[in-house]
Amino acid sequence: MNRRGIAWAARLPELLVGALWVSIAVSLTAGAWASANGADAGEREDLSGLRRVIAGVNRDWVVAMQSHDAHRAAQAYADDAIFVTRDGAVLLGRDAIERATAERVGNGASLLDGRLDDDGLQPASATLVYEWGHSALRWKQADGAIRATQGRFLTVWRRNADGGWEIVRNLTL
């Protein structure tokens, strides 16, 4: 690979995040227009149901992380999910997300308590919904130190063929 190819490959995570933000901005704008122009009661009711699903998934993720259960923590992700971590690492697929989660809890870190809260939901289509929110977590590090973390996230949920919802994109900030 020449130097130009190496430079492009090194910027791939940055480019993926940029492309994700552009697609989200376009979809949010379209979704806001649709909401302002007559979203029906069925859509609002469906979002209410999805909000309950998301709250349950978020609570379950905390419990899974507290019990060091990486498999359980990754179950909400689609097989083809993409997760972009806070440091820019890109995880492709549920299996990669599960492995990264297992490494995190396997290195001696333990989640003591915390919350993932959604701050908003915006439908992008009949099968895609954007969720944005924040987290507040307290970790016990391998050396015994307690570390609090806070952050923001953007998650794309997709309705699957069975009518359930799964995470297809997750970006932590």
| Lowest pLDDT segment from 10-14, 33-37, 112-116 | 33-37
What pLDDT is attached to residue 47? Answer: 87
Here the CATH number for the domain that contains residue 95 is 3.10.450.50
pLDDT of 170 over the 80 cut: yes
What pLDDT is attached to residue 36? Answer: 44
pLDDT of 37 over the 50 cut: no
What pLDDT is attached to residue 109? Answer: 87
pLDDT of 89 over the 60 cut: yes
Three-class secondary structure assignment of the chain:
CCHHHHHHHHCHHHHHHHHHHHHHHHHHHHHHHHHHCCCCHHHHHHHHHHHHHHHHHHHHHHHHHHCCCHHHHCCCEEEEEEEECCCCCEEECHHHHHHHHHHHHHCCCEEEEEEEEEEEEEECCCCEEEEEEEEEEEEECCCCCEEEEEEEEEEEEEECCCCCEEEEEEEEC
pLDDT of 34 over the 80 cut: no
Number of domains in the chain: 1
On average, the pLDDT of the chain sits at: 84
pLDDT of 70 over the 70 cut: yes
Region 67-73: mean pLDDT is: 96
Residue 23's pLDDT band, with cuts at 50, 70 and 90, is low
Residue 26 lies in domain: 3-172
pLDDT in tens, 91-141: 999 999 999 999 988 888 899 999 999 999 999 999 999 999 999 999 999
What pLDDT is attached to residue 126? Answer: 92
Region 80-88: mean pLDDT is: 96
The percent of residues in the chain predicted with pLDDT above 70, rounded, is 74
